[in-house]
Amino acid sequence: MMDLLDNSPYDYIINSTVKEIDKLNVKHRTFNEIDFRYFIKQLKYIYINHGNLENIFFDNIENNSLHKSIHVFKSLFFKNNFPLRTTKHISDPYKGSACKRINMFLRWMVRKDSNGVDFGIWNKISPSYLSCPLDVHSGRVARKLGMLKRTQNDHKAVIELDNKLRYLDSNDPVKYDFSLFGLGVFEGF
């Protein structure tokens, strides 16, 4: 993907023509050229009309979380004529999803750390609004530690885990993500 975007994704997205975008051909697991082309076109639309992605998430913070922001982002992303198959690549907490991938993306963009795990290139959003990217591993460990009672890894479980992690550190609740995930994957906890 980076090669196709001349190793400068933002510049490519902003400066590419529809004709250039329509020539892009890539496939990775369930993500194909239809999805890729649509993502490029929609990111261009967002950058031109909203300045950047961070603005969309920042402008829609509600109840000390980014749950509404994720919902609004998905609604905006699929506002125009879109391929139905592509909607599966962006989850929506208001439809019950844990939104693991987008919460991971938000973590990378918002949190600053000295270990090089999180990029921290966004400056408007506080890490206090982030949610743990809940998956099989972090969910299992959270349950074993008594931090999560809900058995499904869904949006309700994310809210439950958010409350526990914010109790431990209201300024940076997601700093515990790597520990939860690591105990589950690497330690077999």
Q: Where are the domains of the chain?
A: 96-189
Task: Give 89's contacts (C-beta < 8 A, 6+ positions apart).
Answer: 30, 31, 35, 39
Strand, coil or helix: what is 109?
helix
Tokens of 153: 């890894």
Q: pLDDT-based confidence at 134, cuts 50/70/90? A: very high
CA atoms within 13 A on the CB side of 41: 21
Residue 136: its pLDDT value, please?
Answer: 92
pTM: 0.92
User: For the ranges 14-18, 76-80, 123-127, which has the lowest average pLDDT?
Assistant: 76-80
Neighbours of 121 (CB within 10 A): 10
Residue 178: its pLDDT value, please?
Answer: 85
For residue range 88-118, list pLDDT tens digits in order. 999 999 999 999 999 999 999 999 988 888 9
Distances (CA, A) of 64 to 52, 68, 133, 163: 21, 10, 16, 11
Is 187 in contact with 141 (CB distance < 8 Å)? no
Q: pLDDT-based confidence at 186, cuts 50/70/90? A: low
Question: Percentage of the chain with pLDDT > 70?
Answer: 97
Amino acid (one-letter) located at 141: V
On the 0-12 / 13-18 / 19+ scale of CB atoms within 10 A, 186 is exposed
Q: Residue 122: is its pLDDT beyond 70?
A: yes
| Residues facing 31 on adjacent strands | 28
Mean pLDDT of 53-73: 97
Tokens of 56: 């969309």
For residue range 14-60, list pLDDT tens digits in order. 999 999 999 999 999 999 999 999 999 999 999 999 999 999 999 99
